[in-house]
Amino acid sequence: MSTRSRHEARWTHAEATASGRLPRNAWWMLPLLLGLALLALYGGYRVYMGIDTVTYEVRQCEESLTEQSSWDEVQAAACDPVPAAPVTMALMQGMDRIEPDDVSGSVLTWDAWPVNSPEHSVDLELQDPAQTVVIAEPEAQRVRVELTSDASETMWGGFIGGRGPTSYWVLITPAG
């Protein structure tokens, strides 16, 4: 009686018996592949959305600024850092209101913020009325957006947009 390998056809020899190992059961590969796929999706999401720490520094200006103000006008407005404690600020991601993770001096910080998301806006509440509030990008040296207020000029808000820097200034010009 002769033997045949498993890859040989059955009709090779009528009395041949198959030799060799049976195919292995690789069930353990499925959880491994699923874990790797989830890890790749999570890493891709963090890179695509630009997950990073975002800071907003609160500054009080001597002159009012608008969205069309140049960086020279921002510098001339004498905007100095002020404590952020009297300011209640939240970033809105769609309809979700997200409070800062840390408030230190004049800086409000949000950790793990999706910088590249296109649905960001700012909700700002002041103790005293303000004449204007603008959001500026100090790294790009430009004013990004002018916020709009309610009738009391203590509640301010506006759309920031996505794909911005990770450092902003909130430039507040007090009323009066």
- What is the mean pLDDT of the segment spanning 134-138? 96
Report residue 120's pLDDT band, with 50, 70 and 90 as the boundaries. confident
Selected residue with higher pLDDT from 65 and 117: 65
* Number of other CB atoms surrounding residue 108 within 10 Å: 24
- Which one has a higher pLDDT value, 101 or 15? 101
Name the pLDDT band for 47 (thresholds 50, 70, 90).
confident
* Strand partners for 167: 55
| SS3 category, 143 | strand
What pLDDT was estimated at residue 27?
Answer: 82
Q: What is the pTM of this model?
A: 0.77
| % of the chain exceeding 90 in pLDDT | 61
pLDDT in tens, 64-106: 999 999 999 999 999 999 999 889 999 998 889 999 999 999 9
- Specify the pLDDT at position 6: 56
Residues in CB range of 28: below 8 A, 6 or more apart: none
Task: List the one residue out of 84, 77, 57, 65 whose CA is nearest residue 138.
Answer: 57
The mean per-residue pLDDT over the stretch 132-145 comes to 95
* 3-class SS of residue 146: strand
Mean pLDDT of 51-62: 95
8-17, 37-46, 92-101, 161-170 — which is least confidently predicted? 8-17
Instruction: Show me where the domains of the chain are located.
Output: 51-174
pLDDT in tens, 20-43: 666 677 788 889 999 999 999 998
Instruction: Decide: helix, strand or coil at residue 117.
Output: coil
